[in-house]
Amino acid sequence: MTGTLAASSLPLPLLRRGKVREVYEVDDGRLLLVASDRVSAFDVVMREAVPSKGAVLTQLSSFWFPRFEGLVAHHCLTADAGTIVTAVPALAPYHSQLAGRAMLCRRTTPVAFECVVRGYLAGSAWAEYRKTGTLAGEPMPKGLVESSRLDAPLFSPATKAETGHDENVPFSRVEQDLGTELANRLRDISLSIYGAGRDYAESRGIILADTKFEFGIDGDGTLRLIDEVLTPDSSRFWPADGYAPGRAQPSFDKQPLRDYLAGVREAGNWNGEAPPPALPDEVVDATSRRYREAYRRITGRELEIR
Ligand SMILES: Nc1ncnc2c1ncn2[C@@H]1O[C@H](COP(=O)(O)OP(=O)(O)OP(=O)(O)O)[C@@H](O)[C@H]1O
Ligand SMILES: [Mg+2]
């Protein structure tokens, strides 16, 4: 077991620090993605780090990528710290920062859309539907309620916003920008991966309500699935027992954190923006247990951090 990490610091050029992950350049062809233990809720990053969370994200992605190889190529070279250090010897002294949480990847040029697939009506899609009966301006079936299961999962692309919220856009916008052929491929592959992931997760008691995929094109022109895949941070995971449409569903992973923050807010002690309130140890521990439970349920194994 290695320590909790709020932010990695490695001797490689840092390309980007996201809410949760750091992206480092290894060379022209490779990147190192490091998932810290930072956690965000309501778009605000907490001060406390959640033990094991980064490893859960990285090891879950690493679990899924090979399962989808029949559907699409991916960017993952390895998520094993020993193998990473062998490939990039300058990282040898940093093994403990890498363990479980780092993924060595093929570098690509990312496609400029987030490929969201929705199998249930939640989040920004529910908010729009409730107001206008549409999603990204397109009409939707009548009579849906919050968290309704959609008969056919929907490809629901979004633009990548540098700051603020991603914007849902109609499929025609993807066609315009990328051409019909690539747009159709992104849609078909996204729906196939989601379908496979949803069926699998359902068999393990987890509803994969929606998720976001990212794709990139490598130096040979090959389309690859990149970033993280079917993790709690890129998806809505709901516990299947107790699912009931007509209301918001609890989050499999973040509910202890959300409940605590909602309580602080209702008590008038937080306005919902940064800086966040301090989290009690019990809330951090409960959140950590939920992430590990998500990993265990989905993969059928305990998380091992090496
Ligand atoms: N193989 C790859 N080639 C090129 N870029 C990649 C690859 N894999 C992932 N990326 C990029 O790495 C970045 C990861 O940073 P991102 O800002 O999403 O981090 P994050 O911690 O998930 O933050 P946020 O919560 O803001 O999404 C994304 O911009 C993604 O497009
Ligand atoms: Mg991200």
Can you spell out the DSSP letters for 111-154? Answer: -SEEEEEEEE--HHHHHHHHHHSEETTEE--TT--TTPEEEEEE
Give the confidence band of 260 by pLDDT, cuts at 50, 70, 90: very high
Report the residue count for the chain.
306
Ligand 1 atom at minimal distance to the Cα of residue 20: 21
Q: Which residues pair with 215 in a beta bridge?
A: 225
Residue 243 contacts residue 141 (beta carbons within 8 Å) = no
pLDDT in tens, 203-234: 999 999 999 999 999 999 999 999 999 999 99
pTM: 0.96
Query: Judging by DSSP bridges, how do beta strands 167-168 and 30-35 pair with one another?
Result: unpaired
Residue 80 has pLDDT above 90, yes or no: yes
* Distance in angstroms (rounded) separating the CA atoms of residues 278 and 170: 40
**DSSP class of 253:** T
Residue 24's region, left for phi above 0, alpha for psi from -120 to 50, else beta, is: beta
Is 19 near ligand 1, meaning CB less than 6 Å away? yes
Give nearest CA residue, ligand 1 atom 10: 227
* Distance in angstroms (rounded) separating the CA atoms of residues 43 and 262: 14
**DSSP class of 44:** E
Q: Looking up tokens 């094109």, which residue turns up?
A: 217
Residue 164 has pLDDT above 80, yes or no: no
Question: What token pair was written down for 172?
Answer: 């025609």
Question: What token pair was written down for 306?
Answer: 């090496």
Predicted pLDDT of residue 161: 79
Q: Which residues pair with 44 in a beta bridge?
A: 41
Other beta carbons within 10 Å of 246: 8
Residue 178 has pLDDT above 90, yes or no: yes
Other beta carbons within 10 Å of 304: 10
* Distance in angstroms (rounded) separating the CA atoms of residues 161 and 113: 10
Proximal ligand: closest to the CA of 212: 2
Query: Judging by DSSP bridges, how do beta strands 134-135 and 138-139 pair with one another?
Result: antiparallel
Residue 163 has pLDDT above 80, yes or no: no
* Distance in angstroms (rounded) separating the CA atoms of residues 155 and 181: 15
- Of 23, 37, 62, 107, the one to substitute when testing ligand 1's pocket (max ligand atoms within 8 A of C-beta) is 23
**Cα-only R_g, the chain:** 19
Residue 192 has pLDDT above 60, yes or no: yes
Alpha carbon of 157 to ligand 2 centroid (Å):
15
Is 217 near ligand 1, meaning CB less than 6 Å away? no
* Distance in angstroms (rounded) separating the CA atoms of residues 104 and 16: 15
Residue 1 has pLDDT above 80, yes or no: no
Other beta carbons within 10 Å of 176: 12
Ligand 1 atom at minimal distance to the Cα of residue 75: 1
Give the confidence band of 2 by pLDDT, cuts at 50, 70, 90: low
